[in-house]
Amino acid sequence: MSAICLLLLLLLLHCIVSFRPIEALFSPKDHILINCGGNETVLSADGRAFLPDTLPDASSPFVLSPTSHDVVRVGSSGVYGSARVFREAAEYRFRIRQKERHFVRLHFYPIRSSLYAMKSAVFSVMANEYTLMRNFSYSKLDLGESFVLKEYIFRLERLSIKVTPSIGSIAFLNAIEIISLPDDLIPPVASTVPSGTSVEIPSLVGFETVFRINVGGPALDSSNDSLWRIWENDHPFLVISASVRNASTDPNLIRYPAEVPYYVAPNSVYATAHEMADASVSNQNFNISWVFLVESGFQYLVRFHFCDFITTTENLLFNVYINNQSVLSPFDISNKVGLFNAYFLDFIADVPMNSDRILVQIGPPRVMVNFPANAILNGLEIMKLSDLNNDFDVHIENASGVQMAKNQKNGTFIVAICSVGMSSLLVIAAIVILFFGYHRYINESDLAGFLSPVAPTTHLGNSETKISTLSDASSGASPGIGQLLAFSEIREATKNFDESLVVGIGGFGKVYKGVFENGLVVAVKRANPRSQQGLTEFRTEIEMLSKLQHHHLVSFIGYCHEANEMVLIYEFMGGGPLRKHLYGSDLPPLSWKQRLQICIGAAKGLHYLHTGASETIIHRDVKTTNILLDDNLIAKVADFGLSKMGPTVDQTHVSTAVKGSFGYLDPEYFRRQQLTEKSDVYSFGVVLLEVLCARPAINPALPRDQVNLVEWAMNWQKQGQLEQIIDPYLAGTVSLYSLAKFGATAEKCLAEYSMDRPSMGDVLWNLEYALQLQETFSSVVGDGGSTNCMLGLPEWISQVENIENEHDMISVSSDVTDVATSRVFSQLMNPKGR
């Protein structure tokens, strides 16, 4: 018995050693914790001691120069109970023992004080040669009473942290952390998005932690992490919360293979996950999506944390996407990782200047063979890489996108100005005025160069176009093409941009109804400075519309570009966008004949763009919000901000970044980045289905199999039962022959490959034929029923939610590979089992 007891005791001791807290295993050589402005050591919530920065002696690991005696202290609030305030530039210099990568964490909290307006302080911070923050201000963050923690990673041999207040302001710091890191925490290489090739990460590149997410689990404070990191919960970033279900296991079951160090993430992160909601339901076809707002123009390291503790007997395969681009397809986590094993993968993603977000998605492969439809994610980290100038914070000079010069020597410039006499100041002021006057002249003349007062020829040969004699291809008069208008005129026409005059909101900005002094009613589109669309789209719109005139294109009247304002002026379309006449408003429903006439008008406008203008023009954003109606329901195509010149005679396509709108994007264009006029044809096919069914292209409120209009409608079309899903208002009024022609036309437009799609001329011919069939039907049976019309429809339609434009727009500016179709865009719509 004694031998058995001894054996049991040894086993118990082994278990105790094996499952000891891993946090205790890490002991950094550099672990400097500073309580700025404090006069005593304070303990943080995780038990670490922050030493005061008052009067450092020879044994202190830092020196502050020049010494600032301005401090603010309150009661016992830990490191946020005190702050050191700086009226001039000051520098902390630290002795570094381990010449490897370090965490540098800066803590900010504006303590209320009668002496210092800390909340409105504006200042910049540098670490060695890295610009961490430029003109930082707590008040701009709208954080309420929350603290700000900035975390960076650098390879250090020395460290100086320089704080510089802006002119007339102060700067402050509450606490500083400098912690040496294991060298393998940051990978030497990572895969790029979307090419998948491995690239080396230079040792001098710095990182800023933007997001660190515990997916499916609670927020974790620094006491739960061996490197004292903070992990957020993922719910604020989920696109649709109903798409996920929490999963968890015992953290003690998590294993770290040899290639995954335990400090890469806590076992409590790997022990929780989000999986697809009701994953046991068959035919699940949606992605779980998270959206993270980031700063444009930088590269980001995206780290995925995986641990499969869910599967039992079957393998778990799923796809992983970053910004709609496949990075793992499919990822066989069961074979790659194994049950309960921690695993992580790193990718480098570019965020272009016209974007401000990273979209992360996971979902089942398109073709599932003997595998359950499910996907999981345990954790996610997003870190910004420093740019070529060692900047983490790029300052933009004005709305025209002119980037300010890097690393300005503000202090030197101020000293130089102060050293000259009053006469020199006057001379400098005169030069500045002349420079900015010239700069403004350049902006306006540059834009004016895009404009052409001569309208292009509008002759259409009819040997190939199949346009009937009813197709009016003549150009309508457009008053004052390309006029440069004063902003004061526009402000007066819109009553200083009165919100009551807003008639629409798009990706570019708000659209106002305006009336000029001469009585001309116009639509005024004013750029939103926070919009993803900017100067490029503004110029494109002017360039395109100044070359075009057609009865079914919205007439362009003029533009304004002054005082950082970008404004476009068009003829006013009293009927508004086509979408409002189909769903989401209380407007009276359109008849089938009216819908056909509107589709024909829009097709004429697109056909003119493709074949009637001096050069082929591809609209690239055809959708029901960009087809406007006048008071007589005449359709006109609008919004040319994303338009592109088509291929020349010796080209088959135009290679360009993918841009368009959710639900309307040509899958072939998305896969290959090869744009042709057939991309417009595909988008127009989606419009045809919207017109027929009176519902959005993507509607998350509907059951899973009805979310994507194209997939759902084409299933019915292939069964020959398209009449089952049309707008119930049309029941009993539509000729089956007209509907059959219309449905066949839409199906051809939506062909997977562009070579199988018709031209817009052929689409136009087929729509006019469908209209003739409907008119013949109406002349015979009137408005009554017939065996050749739909008499009743199933009650499949729930109330359609009004889905606004901000959910439409996407902008992908990188190459795209290995993505099956546009269906990859997280088309989940309440994915709960029925």
- Residue ranges of the binding site for ATP: 525
In a 13 Å sphere around the CA of 179, the CA atoms on its Cβ side amount to: 20
**H-state helical runs in 251-329:** 267-270
CA dihedral 92, 132, 149, 120 (to 10 degrees): 90
Q: Residue 124 in contact with residue 89, Cβ under 8 Å?
A: no
CA-only gyration radius of the chain, Å? 31
Q: Residue 279 in contact with residue 828, Cβ under 8 Å?
A: no
Q: Name 244's Cβ contacts closer than 8 Å, sequence gap at least 6.
A: 216, 238, 274, 275, 276, 277, 288
The residue count for the chain: 834
660 conformational bin, left if phi > 0, alpha if psi -120 to 50, beta if neither: left
Q: Residue 428 in contact with residue 414, Cβ under 8 Å?
A: no
Three-state helix/strand/coil letters over 213-243: EECCCCCECHHHCCCCCCEEECHHHECCHHH
CA distance 754 to 188: 42
Q: How far is CA 421 from CA 58, 426, 434, 578, in A?
A: 44, 9, 20, 65
The number of beta carbons lying within 10 Å of the beta carbon of residue 598 is: 23
CA distance 242 to 783: 44
Q: Residue 290 is which amino acid?
A: W
- Which residues are annotated binding-site positions? 525
Nearest alpha-carbon partner for 326 in 729, 676, 817, 760 = 817
CA distance 402 to 455: 32
CA distance 419 to 425: 10
- Please classify residue 13 by burial: count the beta carbons closer than 10 Å to its beta carbon, then call 0-12 exposed, 13-18 middle and 19+ buried: exposed
| Residue 666 designated active-site | no
CA distance 628 to 624: 8
User: Which two structure tokens, joined as six digits, stand for 175?
Assistant: 């606490």
Q: Name 648's Cβ contacts closer than 8 Å, sequence gap at least 6.
A: none
Nearest alpha-carbon partner for 82 in 90, 98, 71, 69 = 71
Q: Name 412's Cβ contacts closer than 8 Å, sequence gap at least 6.
A: none
In a 13 Å sphere around the CA of 640, the CA atoms on its Cβ side amount to: 26
Which pairing describes strands 90-94 and 343-351: parallel, antiparallel, or unpaired? unpaired
Question: Of the residues 53, 308, 391, 621, which is catalytic?
Answer: 621
Give the residue numbers marked as catalytic: 621
